[in-house]
Amino acid sequence: MAPRVSLKAKGKSSKKTAEDRSVIDSVKEWTTWGMKKTKVIAHYGFIPLIIIIGMNSDPKPHISQLLSPV
């Protein structure tokens, strides 16, 4: 017969205290909040960023040249 394989975790126990869970939960909450804000900033800030970069390049185009599709 083949020997049985144990699935026990070795080393530290995986039990977390209430304080550890609250810290982890707060980090997850703040990370989610930050990513949502970053998504909104990237969504509404991309085109103005391109226009600002275009206005500061050489040769300096007029705003109508930057906004026209041609």
With respect to residue 20, please indicate whether it lies within any of the assigned structural domains.
no
Looking at the structure of the chain, the number of domains it has is 1
Q: Does the pLDDT value for residue 12 go beyond 60?
A: no
pLDDT, average across residues 4-11: 60
With respect to residue 54, please indicate whether it lies within any of the assigned structural domains.
yes
Tens digit of each residue's pLDDT (9 = 90 or more) over 21-57:
888 899 999 999 999 999 999 999 998 898 888 888 8
Enter the pTM of the model: 0.49
Residue 45's domain comprises: 37-70
3-state helix, strand, coil in the chain (%, to 5): 60, 0, 40
15 phi and psi angles, rounded to 5 deg: -75, 135
Q: Are 63 and 51 in contact (CB under 8 A)?
A: yes
Predicted confidence at residue 5, as pLDDT, reads: 64
The identity of residue 24, as a single letter, is I
Q: Does the pLDDT value for residue 13 go beyond 60?
A: no
Predicted confidence at residue 1, as pLDDT, reads: 58
